[in-house]
Structure 1
Amino acid sequence: MDYGMFRFCVADSEHDWRKGSEQYRFLEKCLASVDRRKQPWLIFVAHRPLGYSSNDWFGEEGSFEEPMGRDDLQRLWQKYRVDIAFYGHVHAYERTCPIYQVWIEQPNMEVP
């Protein structure tokens, strides 16, 4: 779905979105088809979040085959430079810094 400077790629978090699935192919087609000159903002949207850091229950509930689905989605997001992801389901606000395969080095910790 397009709206002005925005391309929204909407996923159904209740169905398989792992690599090779029908939905994965749909999402890749959506992400790959954006013209960044016309729509510089690429936004991923789904209902159920891929984990939730403020409450263990939401993290355990997750999405279809999460965290396996998360790995496949992260590769798509990185490949097509998704700018932001929005989720529903949890009726609370939470935001994070960029998290794609990021290791934050802290004092006295070894980097894996």
Structure 2
Amino acid sequence: MYSTDYGMFRFCIADTEHDWRPGTQQYKFIEHCLSTVDRQKQPWLIFLAHRVLGYSSGEFYAEEGSFEEPMGRESLQEIWQKYKVDIAFYGHVHNYERTCPVF
């Protein structure tokens, strides 16, 4: 997990191989990263992670019936909304997917 600023962008990068539920070190890092952005300097707040933390129609997720990594969206959706994350990018599933705003 780390963060970086590049021009108008703040990138908050999470480690999906470790616990990100509220109260964990990673959750605290993510919240700190999101809450400390200066929207005058970085108006774009971007969240990145390897495994899909939201929704995916990838075949593996469909077969297991989860459509997401365990504890993904439920654990982070509140702070994504609170700090108005603009976009999230994920890897792992080798499909191109996009959705409209979810809130």
Higher strand fraction (1 or 2)? 2
Residue 89 (1) aligns with residue 92 (2): yes
TM-fit CA distance, 1:40: 0.2
CA separation in 1, counterparts of 2:96 and 2:64?
13
Counterpart position of 2:51: 48
Counterpart position of 1:5: 8
Structure 2 unmatched runs, 5+: none
CA separation in 2, counterparts of 1:37 and 1:77?
18
Letter in 2 for 1:52: S
Larger Rg: 1
TM-fit CA distance, 1:69: 3.5
TM-score by length of 2: 0.85
TM-fit CA distance, 1:58: 7.3
Contact 1:52 1:59 in 2 (8 A): no
Residue 77 (1) aligns with residue 80 (2): yes
CA separation in 1, counterparts of 2:97 and 2:86?
17
Q: Percent of pairs identical after alignment?
A: 65
CA separation in 2, counterparts of 1:74 and 1:14?
18
CA separation in 2, counterparts of 1:92 and 1:70?
19
Letter in 1 for 2:44: W
TM-score by length of 1: 0.78
TM-fit CA distance, 1:36: 0.1
Letter in 2 for 1:85: A
